[in-house]
């Protein structure tokens, strides 16, 4: 439940931020506001509407709409014509963290917080850390790409890391539901835009780094710096860093907070001694300062080895006993669309995954290869999202060369020409030995791949993972329902029938 906050208190909090004058105009002494809102369409009576200048629009232009919807006051950084009380600050976006926290009753002060960043693995690692902390006895909320949840309750969110006011409201919701800890997925864009400003983390986790989101960041170094920011002493007390890539090592070396190094390297504090993975899950052997530990998980694929080890290390840093961590990791179900395994039992295995970067795709193909039966082939269903990170397409095609059969298709063109996107993927595949088919309709591509697959084969469907809406224009209202896992399941039954009795998927485990 959001508190009612005196206007004078809002002004006082706004003044705590250095950077220029804060000027209040209007508003009687007894004025109160409830909830900080950045979208005029979400204003309710009593809201404080923050006018944010964005890429596509400017919140100042929506001040009148917010007033009509019942906003009690405005937060602005340029003059607007209005009868409402106004607080004018140097930069509205910079205030979203501090004021979002205030208007949600400062929930972060009541929570132990873990932030998870990295190019790949944020969602899975967040779920694992959530499971570890729950097993340690603390109710733990998790917010990220799959939405927000605490206990059995869940809420949808639009972004991986919500804008600061929404994030603080979600933390309030978690506290009200009894949470003592929360895990927050922190995307680089969120860090860059200050969405996690004002959060004091107990632990920041780094899962790995690879070129991505350059449409937003411009350069790799800017992207890197955005992520590295989470490991500054004013943001976190400690770090857990997977050091198996040079970027992780760089971060561990440069961080000014105590860092637990995780990985296969001999100097890792939580060291992966060995692992094996199959359709039934993953098992790894870890060593830390307390000895050796065997960890079992239902997650499928070698990509999760680092994620599991990072979650283990986070539990250790937060004082969760080893047996509780192991129990927590064993209990976590694979997050939706993150290596979701379907089929098997005498039929081909289908893996639905979110991999949308060249390295993540290469790792997903390796996992698919691990899951093949004797003589089995990997069928890859591959597309690329329109109007985003075009530079990745050739690299995705190059990674796809490791598959035996590639089904190029649409992944939501967002107004681009789908055929042109496919042509760019094909550049990376030039000269490959893999059989390459083009089936622009995604449903048909998934069905064709499932139809072509034999019982020892694996069909890997990548790019969208948990997503259920596909958009081919620039108007979000044109999005249609399309769930890759649902399509694959239907195709499995149509092409290969229901599972045969007595043949378990686990029998394909390596
Ligand atoms: C780059 C970025 O962060 N963009 C987000 C941002 O856009 P923006 O600031 O440019 O906003 P804008 O659309 O220009 O509008 C300006 C302001 O006017 C407001 N407005 C607008 C229209 C209206 O009628 N009334 C109104 O009040 C908007 O709410 C906003 O406050 O604020 C919008 C409102 O919250 C978001 O929808 C939008 O996310 C875009 C769509 C997006 O897709 N962002 C992606 C790239 C993103 O942030 N992804 C990361 C990373 C994911 C990952 O790691 O894979 C994430 O954390 O999700």
Asked if 499 contacts 347 with a C-beta cutoff of 8 angstroms, the reply is yes
Residue with CA closest to ligand 1 atom 51: 187
C-alpha 259: how far from its chain's center? 22
Among candidates 231, 265, 354, 225, which has minimal Cα distance to 301? 354
Q: Is 413 annotated as a binding residue?
A: no
Answer yes or no: is the C-beta of 40 below 6 A from any ligand 1 atom: yes
195 is in an annotated binding site: yes
Q: How far apart are CA 131 and CA 388, in angstroms?
A: 33
* CB distance 7 to 46 below 8 Å: no
The Cα 373–Cα 507 span in angstroms is 9
**358 CA to centre of ligand 1 in angstroms:** 26
Tell me whether residue 161 is annotated as binding. Answer: yes
Q: Collapse the DSSP code of 393 into the 3-class scheme (helix H, G, I; strand E, B; otherwise coil) and give the result.
A: helix
d(CA 126, CA 121): 8
Atom of ligand 1 nearest to the CA of 59: 18
Mention the CATH class of domain 107-331: alpha beta
3-state DSSP assignment of residue 153: strand
Query: For residue 313, what are its two tokens?
Result: 């290390």
CB of 214 sitting under 6 A from ligand 1 = no
Is the CB of residue 190 below 6 angstroms from any atom belonging to ligand 1? yes
Ligand 1 centroid to Cα of residue 162, in Å, is 9
Q: For ligand 1, atom 2, which residue shows the shortest CA distance? A: 189
Structure tokens at 104: 């949600």
Within 13 Å and on the Cβ side, how many CA atoms surround 93? 14
Ligand 1 contact, 193 CB (< 6 A): yes
Q: What is the mean pLDDT of each run of 10 residues along the chain (510 residues)?
A: 94 92 89 97 97 95 98 97 96 96 97 96 97 98 97 95 97 98 96 92 95 86 92 97 95 97 96 92 96 96 94 98 97 93 93 94 95 96 95 96 98 97 97 96 98 97 96 96 97 87 43
Q: Tokens 């001040």 belong to which residue?
A: 63
pLDDT at 125: 97
CA within 13 Å, CB half, 285? 5
Question: Residue 52: CB within 6 Å of ligand 1?
Answer: yes
Instruction: Say yes or no: CB of residue 28 within 6 Å of ligand 1.
Output: no
Residue nearest to atom 46 of ligand 1 (CA): 189
Does the Cβ of 157 fall within 6 Å of ligand 1?
no
d(CA 230, CA 185): 11
32 annotated to bind ligand:
no
Four-residue CA torsion sign, 485, 490, 495, 496:
positive
Place of tokens 């081909």: 348
Q: Which residues contact 55 (CB under 8 A, 6 or more apart)?
A: none
pTM over 0.80: yes
Q: Distance between CA 151 and CA 157 in Å, rounded?
A: 17
User: Cα 251 to the chain's mean position, in Å?
Assistant: 20
Contact 151, 178 (CB under 8 A): yes
Instruction: Write out the two tokens for 448.
Output: 């064709």
Which residue, judged by its Cα, is nearest atom 6 of ligand 1?
54
CATH topology of domain 338-496: 3.90.190
Rounded to an integer, what distance in angstroms lies between the CA atom of residue 42 and that of residue 71? Answer: 10
Long-range contacts of 259-268 (CB under 8 A, 24+ apart): 259/231, 260/313, 260/316, 260/317, 262/306, 262/309, 262/310, 262/312, 262/313, 263/306, 263/309, 268/243
How close is the Cα of 330 to the center of ligand 1, in Å?
A: 36
CB of 167 closer than 8 Å to CB of 143: yes
| Cα 96 to ligand 1 centre (Å) | 14
197 contacts 101 by C-beta, under 8 angstroms:
no
Fold entry, domain 5-95: 3.40.1390
163 in contact with ligand 1, CB cutoff 6 A = yes
CB contact at 8 A, 453 and 403: no
Atom 11 of ligand 1, nearest CA residue: 54
SS3 163: coil
Continuous H helices in 104-196: 122-135, 164-176, 188-192
Quick check: CB of 227 below 6 Å from ligand 1?
no
Decide if 105 contacts 3 (C-beta within 8 A). yes
ipTM of predicted complex:
0.93
From the number of C-beta atoms within 10 Å of its C-beta (0-12, 13-18, 19+), residue 206 rates as buried
Sign of the torsion angle spanned by Cα atoms 171, 126, 120, 411: negative
- CA 181 to CA 113: how far, in whole Å? 6
Judged by phi (left if over 0) then psi (alpha if -120 to 50, else beta), residue 355 lies in: beta
Q: Is 40 annotated as a binding residue?
A: yes
Ligand 1 pocket test: pick from 42, 49, 57 the residue with the most ligand atoms within 8 Å of its Cβ.
57
- Pair 44, 70: CB distance under 8 Å: yes
Q: Which residue, by CA, sits nearest to atom 45 of ligand 1?
A: 159
Q: Are 346 and 355 in contact (CB under 8 A)?
A: no
CA distance 159 to 358: 22
Q: Please name every residue paired with 282 in a beta bridge, in sequence order, or none if there are none.
A: 277, 297
Q: Look at the block and give the residue holding tokens 């591509």.
A: 445
- Nearest Cα neighbor of 470 from 387, 410, 408, 418 is 410
Longest dimension (CA), the chain: 77
For the chain, what are the domain ranges?
A: 5-95, 107-331, 338-496
* Ligand 1 contacts CB of residue 187 (under 6 A): yes
CB-side exposure of 67: number of CA atoms within 13 Å? 14
* Amino acid 199: pLDDT: 94
């Amino acid at each position: 439940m959001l508190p009612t906050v005196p206007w004078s208190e809002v002004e006082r909090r706004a003044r705590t931020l250095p950077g220029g004058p804060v000027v209040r105009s209007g508003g009687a002494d007894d004025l109160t506001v409830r909830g900080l809102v950045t979208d005029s369409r979400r204003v309710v009576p009593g809201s404080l509407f923050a006018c944010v200048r964005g890429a596509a629009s400017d919140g100042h232009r929506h001040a009148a709409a917010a007033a009509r919807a019942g906003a009690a006051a405005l937060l602005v950084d340029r003059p607007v014509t209005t009868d409402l009380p106004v607080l004018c600050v140097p930069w509205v976006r910079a205030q979203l963290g501090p004021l979002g926290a205030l208007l949600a009753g400062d929930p972060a002060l009541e929570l132990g917080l873990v932030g998870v960043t990295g190019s790949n693995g944020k969602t899975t690692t967040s779920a694992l850390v959530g499971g570890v902390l729950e097993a340690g006895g603390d109710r733990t909320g998790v917010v990220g790409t799959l939405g927000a949840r605490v206990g059995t309750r869940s809420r949808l969110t639009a972004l991986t890391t919500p804008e600061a006011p929404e994030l603080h409201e979600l933390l309030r919701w978690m506290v009200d539901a009894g949470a003592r800890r929360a895990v927050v997925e922190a995307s680089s864009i969120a860090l860059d835009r200050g969405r996690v400003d004002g959060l004091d983390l107990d632990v920041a986790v780094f899962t790995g780094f690879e070129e991505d989101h350059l449409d937003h960041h411009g350069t790799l170094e800017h992207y890197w710096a955005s992520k590295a920011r989470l490991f500054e002493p004013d943001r976190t007390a400690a770090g857990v860093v997977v050091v198996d890539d040079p970027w992780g090592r760089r971060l561990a070396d440069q961080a000014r907070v105590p860092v637990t190094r995780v990985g296969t390297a001999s100097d890792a504090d939580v060291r992966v001694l060995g692992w094996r993975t199959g359709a039934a899950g993953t098992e790894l052997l870890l060593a830390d300062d307390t000895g050796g530990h065997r960890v079992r998980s239902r997650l499928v694929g070698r990509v999760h080895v680092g994620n599991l080890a990072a979650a283990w290390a986070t539990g250790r840093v937060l004082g969760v006993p080893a047996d509780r961590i192991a129990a927590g990791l064993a209990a976590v179900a694979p997050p939706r669309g993150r290596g979701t395994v379907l089929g098997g039992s005498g039929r081909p295995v289908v893996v639905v995954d979110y991999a949308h970067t060249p390295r993540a795709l290469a790792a997903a193909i390796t996992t698919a290869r691990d899951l093949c039966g004797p003589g089995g082939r990997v069928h890859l269903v591959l597309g690329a999202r329109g109007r985003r990170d075009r530079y990745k397409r050739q690299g995705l095609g190059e990674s796809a060369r490791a598959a035996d059969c590639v089904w190029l298709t649409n992944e939501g063109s967002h107004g681009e020409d789908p055929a042109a996107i496919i042509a760019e993927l094909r550049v990376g595949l030039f000269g490959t030995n893999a059989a390459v088919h083009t089936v622009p309709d995604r449903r048909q591509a998934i069905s064709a791949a499932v139809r072509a697959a034999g019982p020892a084969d694996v069909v890997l469907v990548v790019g969208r993972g948990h997503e259920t809406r596909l958009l081919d224009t620039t108007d979000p209202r044109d999005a249609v329902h399309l769930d890759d896992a649902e399509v694959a399941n239907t195709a499995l039954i149509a092409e290969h029938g229901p599972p045969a009795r007595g043949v378990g998927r686990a029998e394909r485990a390596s």
